Structure 1
Amino acid sequence: MLYFIYLIRGIFLSLLLAVVLAYLLHPLVRMLESRGSSRTASILIVYAVVFILAAGLLLYGMPHIIAQLNTIRDVIPEYAVQVQEFTDSLQLEYARAGIPGAIRQIIDERITWLEQILVQMAERVVQNILGLAGYLFNIILAPIFAYYLLKDIEIFTDRTVMFIPARWRGDVLELGRQVSRVIDSFVRGYLLVSVITGLLTGVVLAFLKVEFALMLGIFAGLTNLIPYFGPFIGAVPAVALAMLVSKWLVLKVIIAFILIQQAEASIISPKILGDRVGLHPLVVILAVLAGGQLFGLAGLILAVPVAAILRVFIYFAAARLLPEFN
């Protein structure tokens, strides 16, 4: 059995994507079904709506994204010259400041190290984007698997429950409900918050006439999935581009990101997420740092839900093993 699982490991990505897709679409299917539609009709209606929205975004968004990518490719040499002039002026300034030679050498080494890191990150992003083409078949299979999961989800659930010993069944189902609430809070909540944040960022940057506002908005929305550190990471490219235009634009971009972050932290996230994940801010920061150190970008994004699920297991076990814990 283990060898067979090893042989079919290539479809695990499709199954994982199917589970995520089914998890996200199940509330919509259930809502339509409660209004009188059959299960199959509800799934097909949800699929049709999702397909129309995705096709609309692709048809409208992809030409703009491709155009901006082509523009970025064309202006990179100009920006490289401006960045070189900017760094030369900085080096001239701190050379005049009378900084000792040893310290200047350390600063130069750090600048070179940072440039190498940025180049490696850019190369990695390009490789990952190109690598997605190899998973196209797995991505196409995911909606097919998700359809059958949505259609017969009760059958799969009931048959899975049958394999749980009767004396553990109540605890396992209760633990599953708690984990499901945490995942629901994170996945649906954070995705919605990130989409809103990305849209706000793109609109505000376009209003400020910052180049590549669409790409910067998408980047800000994606990095917003990383708690605490994401907004700062998302602001870096916009601030860097603004530095090449004027100091006044840099100030406006920084103020815009601060206002968006305050709106997200004070209004958007509390309304959508609340405190349902149940983690202390210090635990969140430590989890994000550990996830980034161990697993890179994926660790940064998945650190919080994994930590929240571990918290559910620990509290559940403590409540069962230590009666006074209740």
Structure 2
Amino acid sequence: MVTKFFKNNYNLRKSLYTLGIVILSIVFFRYTENAKLVNFIPSVLKVMKPFIIGAVLAYVLNCGTNCLEKNILSKLEYFKSRPHKSRAVSITIAFLLLIGVIVGIIAYIIPEIVSSIQNVVNFFVGIDSETVHEYLNSFLTKHNIDISVSTYRSLLKTTDNAMNSLTSSLKYMPEMLTSIATHTISFASSLVSIIMGIMIAVYMLLDKEKLLHFCKKTLFILFSKKQVEGIANTIKYTNSVFNSFVVGKTIDSLIIAIIFFIGSIILNLPYPMLFAIIIGITNMIPYFGPFIGAVPVVALTLLINPIKGLWVLIFIVVLQQFDGVILGPRILGDSIGLKPIGVIFAIIVGGAIAGPLGMFFGVPIFSVLFTIFSNFVEKLYNSKNTVENKLEKETNKDDDTEKSE
């Protein structure tokens, strides 16, 4: 009787759920002041670290393994009668490709970046104010540029300030290198968790249908059928948005980085690998990313060679126009479903909360939240209109009845 009463009273259920959440929240925030609980949470996260790594790896590689299994291996005669082997082979190939990419980055790209950074540091260390003044005088004389004495003094003062800022920044370089070494050691110490995470990811990918079925059964125990369908649709939409945006933006930025690298070699620009990586990584952030990446690249090139600095600026502007008008829309399409103002809002809020990663992941997260909120508002609006229309019809019916009498 009580169960039937509880099921038939939606508002009562909603109130009890809300009350339960409030009580749990109060208990949680009350006991987070306790040092034991504060220390307990990191301990739990440390234990769960291999599972978190495994889940992330499984999610990242799932798209690739699906593509290999369904579009390539399943069409081969050997695997048509052995579907379990096609799954294992696709997972093996995906992990080998991932390892190959990581080894390639460590063996070729990182040494090139380190060499470029070292050259940049050596370049600025060997420059003093007199060298800058001589270079400025020769540049003005060579290009027949005539400026007033006050402008010349202002220019000298600006260059001196810039050199002082760079010199003070270079003082922190040893600390940065020490920090990198510390993080490298920390990474090595986490190697056991990473290896365990890889093993967990393999089993997750092998048995993903069983895991999903178990999760679905758990949801059916906790929620009604309609609620489970709503949760499932939300998860599917979230997965679609993240896959489309993250994969699409990664491919887009990789293409932009490759084009910039090739263009840098053709134009004989300095540090092509370092600059291409800066442009590619910052391009992952919509709207603001290209500007963030252009600033250090153009500034460094201008200091080394002003003419080439102008060429770099023109090249970046043309490249970003190509990305924004042609390449980006073809790869990404309307994957996030947000207006420009929504994207800018997501970038600003995400950046304030989690820095560069927040600026990137804030866009798909805000897109999902905005879609859920929009659907909720639309549902309430339609429900309200339905009730109002029903009341209006009943009122009109009563009026007609009175008139007929």
TM-score normalized by structure 2? 0.67
Name the Cα RMSD after superposition.
3.7
Is 1:77 paired with 2:139? no
- 1:120-177 per-position Cα deviation (integer Å, ceiling 9, x unaligned): 9978965764453213424444323321221121122111111212331111111111
Find the residue that maps to 1:244 and give its secondary structure: helix
How much does 1:15 deviate? 4.0
Matches within 5 A, 1:237-252: 237-252=296-311
Distance in 2 of aligned mates of 1:49 and 1:189 = 19
Partner residue, 2:197 = 142
Q: Does 1:151 align with 2:206?
A: yes
Do the aligned partners of 1:319 and 1:325 also contact (CA within 8 Å) in 2? no
Q: Name which of 336, 361, 364 aligns with 1:277.
A: 336
The 1:128/1:8 distance shift into structure 2, 3 A limit, reads: farther
Query: 1:294-320 CA deviation, whole Å, 9 max, x = no partner?
Result: 332222222212211211221232344
The 1:81–1:59 alpha-carbon spacing in structure 2 relative to 1, beyond 3 Å, is farther
Check 1:295–1:56 CA distance in 2 against 1; reply closer, same or farther (3 A cut): closer
Matched, 1:29 2:65: yes
Select 2:346's aligned residue among 281, 287, 298: 287
In the alignment, is the contact (CA less than 8 A) between 2:252 and 2:331 conserved in 1?
yes
- Do residues 208 (structure 1) and 267 (structure 2) align? yes
**Amino acid paired to 2:43:** L
Match of 2:12 in 1: none
Largest Rg, 1 or 2: 2
Aligned to 2:316: 257
Question: Is the Cα contact below 8 Å between 1:19 and 1:146 reproduced in 2?
Answer: yes
Where in structure 1 are there 5+ consecutive unaligned residues?
A: 100-104
1:102 paired residue number: none
Following superposition, the deviation at residue 114 of structure 1 comes to: 7.7
Residue 95 of structure 1 deviates from its aligned partner by 8.6
- Report what 2:114 is aligned to: 66
1:226 and 2:289 aligned: no
Q: 1:239 to 1:189 in 2, by over 3 A?
A: same
Residue identity over aligned pairs, in percent, reads: 25
Distance (Å, rounded) in 2 between the aligned partners of 1:179 and 1:140: 28
Question: Per the alignment, do residues 29 and 13 of structure 1 end up closer, same or farther by CA in structure 2, a change over 3 Å counting?
Answer: same
- Matches of 1:80 and 1:230, distance apart in 2: 32
Q: How many residues align?
A: 316
Q: What residue identity is the alignment partner of 2:119?
A: T
Q: Give the direction of change, closer, same or farther, for the CA distance of 1:45–1:200 in structure 2 (3 Å limit).
A: same
Change (3 A) 1:302 1:32: closer
SS at match of 1:163: helix
Distance 1:144 1:319, change over 3 A: farther
> Quick check: 1:175–1:316 contact (8 Å CA) kept in 2?
no
Q: 2:351–2:358: 8 Å Cα contact kept in structure 1?
A: yes
TM-score in terms of structure 1 length: 0.81
Alignment of 1:166 onto 2:224: yes
Q: 1:94 and 1:220, CA in 2 relative to 1: closer, same or farther beyond 3 A?
A: farther
Structure 2 unaligned blocks of 5 or more:
1-27, 29-36, 80-84, 138-146, 386-405
1:46: which partner in 2?
A: 94
